[in-house]
Structure 1
Amino acid sequence: MKFSTQEEYGLRCLLQIARLGPEGSLSISEIAKVEGLTSPHVAKLMSVLRKGGFVVSARGHVGGYSLAEPKLDILVKDVLECLGGRLYDAEFCDRHSGALEICTHAVDCSVRSLWQVLQSSIDRALEGMRLSDMLDQGKSNVTFFGETLPRATIGTADRT
């Protein structure tokens, strides 16, 4: 299972702004440069985050994007849902894309319960995780999803 690039990059852009503190702001080009993304891609992500209420923008030569709320108040779960939506929600079966108007398994769906369990697990794992938790640079180890990881392993892929 993967998060979308929109979720990953959007969260990374938001973290760049959060690192600056309550008064800090960054322009689209500054975020793009630091994250190695194109300016149009960052502009799209920032638009989604602005509409979601996570950032505010200011125009002008000293303008840019800043956090709409303190990083202590921003839940990672809310950011990910804004950027990509929930894995499962009450309208899950309404989005059926088959040839029939209603999914043939609407009454006794074996897959729906899997999505419900996965969404519940994701919600529990992200419960209470704030943007500020992801920025805690003082720890040598970081706890994500109830598992303590050495900081060096975060973000590194298993290359075996």
Structure 2
Amino acid sequence: MKITSQEEYGLRLLIRIAACKDKEGMSIPQLSEAEGLSPHYVAKLTRILRMSGFLNSTPGNKGGYVLSMPANQIIINKVLKALGGPLYDTEFCESHVGVLKLCTHSVDCSSRSLWQMIQFTLDRLLDKVTLHDLVNPEKTSASILEQLLDVNGEELAKN
């Protein structure tokens, strides 16, 4: 399980756009320069984010990308899944079969339960994190995320 560059950079672009004070938003060249990414890659990521309903675009010379809804309504779990899918899904086991056609543990797999629990826990946490929580200096965002994690820890301990 890894966070892909598409998920990382896509999230960074969304944070950058959310923090933009210009009502015109940010253009691909502006985003490219600000994040140190190629314009082609920025165009690919903004297209995914637009098609997933997180961004609106205005074409033309003065055009740019803006959020399609308030930052506090954009759930980070949905963003990451739009950019790369879940960290663990049912096809995970099919891609780790070794040299066989089927995994030797396809019927009884204790590690599958671990991956499913990790995905469940991540989903519960990331469903609580909004883009608004991340459009802050790092220390402020870290504090917000720590509070969310503490709440989740207490909830998990009670279950």
**Taking structure 2 as the reference length, what is the TM-score of the superposition?**
0.79
Q: What's the offset of the Cα at 1:13?
A: 0.4
Query: Is the 2:134–2:141 contact (alpha carbons within 8 Å) kept by the matching residues of 1?
Result: no
Count of residue pairs the alignment pairs up: 148
Percent of aligned pairs with the same amino acid? 45
Query: Is the 2:2–2:87 contact (alpha carbons within 8 Å) kept by the matching residues of 1?
Result: no
What secondary structure sits across from 1:65 in the alignment?
strand
Structure 1 segment 53-72 matched on structure 2, within 5 A: 53-72=53-72
Q: RMSD of the alignment, in Å?
A: 2.7
Superposed CA deviations along residues 85-113 of structure 1, whole A, max 9, x for unmatched, are 10123454456676655433221123211
Superposed CA deviations along residues 6-61 of structure 1, whole A, max 9, x for unmatched, are 11110000111101259341111100100011111111111111121111222110
Query: Is the 1:76–1:129 contact (alpha carbons within 8 Å) kept by the matching residues of 2?
Result: yes
Structure 1 segment 75-154 matched on structure 2, within 5 A: 75-93=75-93, 101-137=101-137, 139=140, 142-146=143-147
Segments of structure 2 that go 5 or more residues without pairing to the other structure are: 151-159
Query: Is the 1:126–1:145 contact (alpha carbons within 8 Å) kept by the matching residues of 2?
Result: no
Larger helix proportion of the pair: 2
* Other-structure match for 1:152: none
Determine which structure has greater relative contact order: mean sequence separation of CA pairs < 8 Å that are 6+ residues apart, divided by chain length: 2
Segments of structure 1 that go 5 or more residues without pairing to the other structure are: 149-160
Query: Is the 2:97–2:104 contact (alpha carbons within 8 Å) kept by the matching residues of 1?
Result: no
Distance 1:140 1:118 in 2: 23
Superposed CA deviations along residues 108-135 of structure 1, whole A, max 9, x for unmatched, are 1232112101101211221321101111
Query: Is the 1:17–1:24 contact (alpha carbons within 8 Å) kept by the matching residues of 2?
Result: no
**Taking structure 1 as the reference length, what is the TM-score of the superposition?**
0.78
Larger strand proportion of the pair: 1
